[in-house]
């Protein structure tokens, strides 16, 4: 008979402590009380737990902590990403510390210094243009780095980002089929890879669906831009709007509420990212869902492989999907009124 080989998780469960406490206890870390260290070591003996010697040698120089640098705590897309990363890291015995970098390259450089100073085992970062050098240097100094959400041209850092193509095409096709043309697109900034990739995907989708040029508002990733752009697109006569990120989606919602535009009747709206504000409306809003939990999990696993010394692929694209809700799922009336 084969009994399953006991893992650190089994030892932790038997001792009634977390995986990271068990790891520290077995390493003899003095932060753990003597009593706990004794108990964990006894359970490890009871269970005949034998950590792979090589893995343990490797681990002894580790802190079992990863650092996560996100642009904002208040943007729920990044908050959920960090939460998903943490959940996955915890299950592998890693603690997670988070640093918020305020969409500011200087602050990201600063955060990276702090995290490196703290001797984390690896870093997951949402990058900005202008941080290519510091991120590459970190990686070259031997600290594993994985980029999340945004790509950074000019580097060969491992990157995980969602693919906007299929879901944006599905969104445009859905709106066109129900007569919600013209469709206006609220574009993010061109100095982020997500901003430029999504706009390109929108334009490609229109072309592939045989539509003439549709109106685009070129903005930035904030509510004010979403609000302003929505006003301009509505004044320009669109019947539907696709917003290019969470914050612009919320701005679009605010603009509709402020103007008394009934979403799901006067205007079809599709947001980006499944933010609670969009879901929890009297008329729930359709969204392009980046499946942020999957993005976070994938990113952690690539970092984990790098920490373990493997060479993961250079770039991974995770899927995004269109979630259709009442805000867009109706037929535009009075097509005949347009000349």
> Site residues (CB under 8 A) for a copy of itself?
17-18, 20-21, 24, 29, 31-32, 63, 65, 67, 72-74, 76, 79-80, 82-83, 86, 90, 95-100, 106-107, 109-111, 113-118, 250, 253-254, 257, 276-277, 280-284
Instruction: Choose between 81 and 316: whose C-beta lies nearer to a copy of itself.
Output: 81
- State the helix-helix crossing angle for 105-117 and 132-140, rounded to 10 degrees: 20
Output the smallest distance, CB 262 to a copy of itself, in A: 8
Output the smallest distance, CB 246 to a copy of itself, in A: 11
Output the smallest distance, CB 292 to a copy of itself, in A: 11
Instruction: Choose between 113 and 208: whose C-beta lies nearer to a copy of itself.
Output: 113
Instruction: Choose between 91 and 338: whose C-beta lies nearer to a copy of itself.
Output: 91
Closest residue by Cα to residue 299 from 311, 316, 320: 316
Count other C-beta atoms under 10 Å from residue 179's C-beta. Answer: 16
Phi, psi of 199 (to 5 degrees): -60, -45
Question: Contact, 288 vs 249, CB < 8 A?
Answer: no
Output the smallest distance, CB 236 to a copy of itself, in A: 23
Instruction: Choose between 134 and 168: whose C-beta lies nearer to a copy of itself.
Output: 134
Instruction: Choose between 114 and 170: whose C-beta lies nearer to a copy of itself.
Output: 114
Instruction: Choose between 37 and 197: whose C-beta lies nearer to a copy of itself.
Output: 37
Both tokens assigned to 90: 């915890």
Centroid of chain to Cα 214: 28
Output the smallest distance, CB 228 to a copy of itself, in A: 16
Between CA 318 and CA 299 the distance in angstroms is 10
In the block, residue with structure tokens 């669109």: 238
DSSP for 294-320, written as a single string: HHHHHHHHHHHHHHTT----SEEEE--
Output the smallest distance, CB 235 to a copy of itself, in A: 21
């Amino acid at each position: 008979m084969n009994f399953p080989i006991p893992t650190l998780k089994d030892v932790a469960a038997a001792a009634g402590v977390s995986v990271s406490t068990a790891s520290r206890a077995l390493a003899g870390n003095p932060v753990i009380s003597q009593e706990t260290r004794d108990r964990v070591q006894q359970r490890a003996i009871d269970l005949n737990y034998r950590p792979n010697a090589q893995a343990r040698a490797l681990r002894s120089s580790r802190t079992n902590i990863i650092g996560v640098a996100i642009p904002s705590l208040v943007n729920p897309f990044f908050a959920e990403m960090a939460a998903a990363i943490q959940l996955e890291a915890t299950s592998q015995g890693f603690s997670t510390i988070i640093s918020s970098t305020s969409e500011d390259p200087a602050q990201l450089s600063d955060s990276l210094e702090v995290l490196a100073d703290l001797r984390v085992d690896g870093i997951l970062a949402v990058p900005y243009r202008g941080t290519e050098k510091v991120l590459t240097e970190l990686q070259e100094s031997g600290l594993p780095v994985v980029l999340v959400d945004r790509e950074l041209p000019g580097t060969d850092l491992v990157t995980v980002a969602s693919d906007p193509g299929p879901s944006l095409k599905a969104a445009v096709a859905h709106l066109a089929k129900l007569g919600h043309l013209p469709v206006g697109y609220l574009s993010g900034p061109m100095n982020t890879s997500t901003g430029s990739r999504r706009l390109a995907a929108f334009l490609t989708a229109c072309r592939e669906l045989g539509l003439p040029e549709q109106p685009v508002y070129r903005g930035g990733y904030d509510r004010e831009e979403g609000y302003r752009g929505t006003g301009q697109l509505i004044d320009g006569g669109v019947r539907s709007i696709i917003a290019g990120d969470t914050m612009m989606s919320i701005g679009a919602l605010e603009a509709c509420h402020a103007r008394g535009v009934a979403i799901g009747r006067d205007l079809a709206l599709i947001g980006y990212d499944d933010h609670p504000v969009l879901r929890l409306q009297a008329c729930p809003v359709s969204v392009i869902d980046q499946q942020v939990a999957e993005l976070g999990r994938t990113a952690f696993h690539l970092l984990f492989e790098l920490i373990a010394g493997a060479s993961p692929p250079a770039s991974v694209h995770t899927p995004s999907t269109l979630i259709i809700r009442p805000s867009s799922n109706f037929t535009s009336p009075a097509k005949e009124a347009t000349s």
